[in-house]
A = this chain, B = another copy of it.
Amino acid sequence: MRSNGRKADELRPITIRTNTNKYAEGSVFIEVGDTKVLCTATVDERVPPFLKGQGKGWVTAEYSMLPRATQTRNQREANRGKLTGRTMEIQRLIGRALRSVVDLHALGERTVTLDCDVIQADGGTRTTSITGAFVAMAIALNKVAEQHSLKKFPITDFLASVSVGVVEEKAVLDLNYDEDSTAKVDMNVVMTGSGKFVEVQGTGEESPFSRAELNDLLALGEKGVLDMIGHQKEVLGAIADKITAAAASNKEA
């Protein structure tokens, strides 16, 4: 049992509300414990300059925290005049992760921008952002697929992310802020519905970790991601079926 009463492989309570924004092509308000993130997907009928004329699309992400998402107030990056390294790192990760399950040729010359704005932070904001942004993107791309009668559904598989870590010498799933700040090893895992890894980022700044510990963390991560994907399927309903079908057909090919 952990200090917060959870089992080592237990996620915090999860709520995913969809279509929370009246303007965005896709929108989600996701809560994982006390971590709350607003994810919107914007579809633009253009691609960045480096992709022009190649018949394929792009998926990119931006991440930000409201100043008082955290215990003490953070200075706005707009006031600092530039993004922090942490923000850049996270938004590059989110974009890369989501692109891994999009067929950019099937998408056509369009850009999907995922905005992940953290309303309240209690650990796992980047993994929660990925999990939520996937749902917002699925809603938006389903609209694109219908409106433009895309020949192929542009999402190739489910995608979700969780954090795992070694806290008090024990591997645990989905760390909240208290656990995260005392963890000796901290790892983020992004995986597809087919159980493949898209990103594995483990850091043992405080204390290097053994191969055995790494194996334990990867197993926990795998379980956590599949649980998360269960929640995504529930809220996506009919769209989830299209993704499942697309993933199955990709597997055969």
Contact = CB atoms under 8 A, between A and B. Distances in A.
A77 B214 CA distance: 36
A204 to B, nearest CB: 5
Contacts of A202: 197, 199-201
Given A22-B34, A211-B197, A85 B88 contact: yes
Contacts of A84: 88
A73 B201 contact: no
Interface string A187-204: 100011011111111111
Q: Is the interface of A mostly helix, strand, loop or mixed?
A: mixed
A128 interface: no
Nearest to A98: B205
Contacts of A209: 196-197
Interface stretch (A3-11, A49-57, A64-72, A230-238): A64-72
A160 interface: no
Interface of A: 21-24, 27, 34, 38, 40, 42, 44, 62, 64, 66-73, 76-89, 91-92, 96, 99-100, 113, 115, 117, 119-120, 157, 187, 191-192, 194-211, 214, 218, 222
